[in-house]
Amino acid sequence: MRILLLILVMALSSTGLHASSVKTLTLAYSDVESFPFQMGNGNSVAIPPGLSIDVIEQAASMLNIKINYVRVPGKRVLNQIRTNQVDGGFIFSYNQERAQYAIYPMKEQEADSTLRIATLDYYFYKRKDQPIEWDGTSLESTGETLVGAHTGFSVIKKLKKNKINTLEIESTEKLFEMLNKRRLTAVAIQSNIASSYINENNLNNVERVTPPISTKDYYLIFSPKMAEDNPALVKEIWRVIGEIRDKVIANNMTKYLAEEK
């Protein structure tokens, strides 16, 4: 009997998960919709919630943990991760500045793309009657060039690096309203957000500009304290996300396409 008990204890310990007392995690994400990965605007979790939440919920179910979700503006999400007010947040691309305080899944000193939640791209969108030239580095337009982008989104750093005058705006509605009134030359926005908004509001006078501004992988990231106190659990969550992501997205995409209509 002693031998059987010892074997059982060793088996449980080998998973590394039972060493953690964590049963419920608090994760933060943006209060701005990013179709189809984060649905709805505001501080409530939408129904359906978005593909990123679908993936996280499936992983949490498999690991027998619960998730408490908090929705706040993007900059506040990052600040709450940095100050350990939450256990983690999503979905964020990798950059060295964030990596100073946020914990990413890493491999050979780079974010491990196999453990991502999503791949998202940014494009410029303009009025069809607005002449714009974009070669992937510089943006040229008749008149003063002023580009709008969501406050706190990673594309802003790229735009400023390319010396493109940028105005940070909180909402998708305001971005396209200002574009329509010619107060912006273009908006730099995730294509999934733009496509959803354009289709929903029948903006036939707006078109996408190629090539993309950027294409990036996005991750669930953890606070320093969460990663330090629960390293095995953090790695296991990432591992499960990497295993189930593609299947969960494929199985759930239909309901979001229906939502888009």
Q: Residue ranges of the domains in the chain?
A: 20-118+217-260, 121-215
User: How much is the pTM?
Assistant: 0.66
**How many other C-beta atoms are found inside a 10 Å radius of the C-beta of residue 95?**
14
Share the mean pLDDT of the chain. Answer: 89
Q: Percent of the chain, pLDDT > 90? A: 72
Same fold, 20-118+217-260 and 121-215: yes
Instruction: Give the mean pLDDT of 182-201.
Output: 89
* CATH fold for the domain made of 121-215: D-Maltodextrin-Binding Protein; domain 2 (3.40.190)
Residue 257's pLDDT is 63
Return the closest-CA partner of residue 164 out of 149, 150, 147, 180.
147
